[in-house]
Structure 1
Amino acid sequence: MATDRLDEVLDATYDCLTRYGVRRTTMDDIATTMGMSRSAVYQYVRSKDDAFRQLAGRLHDEVLVRARQAAADQDAPYTERIRGVLAVKLDLVLELSTASPHTAELLDAEARLFGGVCTAFTAALRRLLIGLFTETGTAEGVDPAEAADIAIALVIGMENMPDARRLLGPASGALTAGLLGATVVVR
């Protein structure tokens, strides 16, 4: 039951983020959004910063679950599994970038509050990709860790492109063809 209330606090924190941004949101805003007193909110989070840090962690963790599912899909070819891991990262960025002018703050790896969350998330995606490239094998002269770094760089480069979701398929297909040293059919 406490987890449900924490989720409500984090949902209210997200709502306040979309309206005010991190700096302008107060604990009173979060409490008002929930219909609770500020002291009641403090039962679930230590501070406004803690609420935002936990919110960023929750969002990144949810996406990481989807990335792990994509990587583990034994019925899909490696190219689709790799694209699936990349797609969830791209989707997170696009969703947070378009939800409000403020929600992209949760993606800032340089931010004091979220830097660790963002860095850990990217490191986890990198490990998933290294595992996939290790399993399938990479082209001669390409190390699985290098292949993972290149794949992540592709997605980061696409984050601000118009029509990025549509372009991810052809881009990841071309990329994996080169990294795997094979001909890949792009859908």
Structure 2
Amino acid sequence: MGTDRLDEVLDAAYDCLTRYGARRTTMDDIASAMGVSRSAVYQYVRGKDDAFRRLAGRLHEQALRRAREAATADAPYPERLHGVLAAKLDLVLQLAGDSPHGAELLDGKARLFGDICTAFTGELREVLTGLFSEAGTVAGATPGEAADICVALVVGLEGAPEPRGLLAPATEALAVGLLGTAAPARDG
């Protein structure tokens, strides 16, 4: 299967998702967005549900890759923590910002994507747990508990006004409270 062509199918599926939503999108819509016949699209996906599952998987995997890169970066732990949390927050804000329908790919209870969303959160928790295991946590908080706190925080930020602006001070607070690091001096 041609990866480039599959990427084109998934890009077209995303375009249709942002315009119509997953339920209203048809295979003809995806084919039309690509400028090909419907039968050409079927060479790469079994149907629109398969296209949207693969799309959700691709987007979640890209965010997870960014989170892993941030966790292993050659940077101080608070910066690494910020990068991991930003990967999750950016995924949500991108999808919600592109269209109200984009959030469909984030629904952990959705029939098509629920397992992808649940697996993503579990793997993100593992990345955070590994980071906290390496960095050490303050007395009373295990690395797993610290990871759970971080996931809960970023989920809470997803619905806040100006969530990107809140991420830096929230990460600083987490670094002080969970890692025991001194907060950097802030301007203003």
How would you bin the TM-score normalised by the shorter chain? Answer: over 0.9
How many residue pairs end up in the alignment? 186
2:22 counterpart SS class: helix
Matched residue, 1:131: 130
1: CA distance between counterparts of 2:160 and 2:43? 42
1:68 is the counterpart of 2:64: no
Matched residue, 1:2: 2
**1:33-182 residue pairs with structure 2 within 5 A?**
33-74=33-74, 76-182=75-181
TM-score normalised per structure 2: 0.96
1:22 counterpart SS class: coil
1: CA distance between counterparts of 2:148 and 2:175? 12
* Letter aligned with residue 96 of structure 1: L
Report Cα offsets for 1:96-136 as digits up to 9, x if no partner.
11101111111111111111111111111111100110011
1:142 counterpart SS class: coil
Matched residue, 1:29: 29
TM-score normalised per structure 1: 0.96
Runs of 4 or more consecutive aligned structure 1 residues displaced over 3 Å after TM superposition:
none
2: CA distance between counterparts of 1:155 and 1:127? 15
- Give 1:186 shift: 6.0
RMSD of aligned Cα (Å):
1.2
* Letter aligned with residue 176 of structure 2: A
Contact 1:138 1:144 in 2 (8 A): yes
Report Cα offsets for 1:53-87 as digits up to 9, x if no partner.
0000111111111111111112x101110111001
2: CA distance between counterparts of 1:182 and 1:173? 9
Could you list the runs of 5+ residues in structure 1 that have no partner in the other structure?
A: none
Contact 1:140 1:181 in 2 (8 A): no
* Letter aligned with residue 180 of structure 1: L
1: CA distance between counterparts of 2:118 and 2:19? 26
2: CA distance between counterparts of 1:80 and 1:186? 14
2: CA distance between counterparts of 1:185 and 1:119? 34
* Letter aligned with residue 82 of structure 1: L
1:102 counterpart SS class: helix
* Letter aligned with residue 182 of structure 1: T
* Letter aligned with residue 160 of structure 1: G
- Give 1:154 shift: 0.4
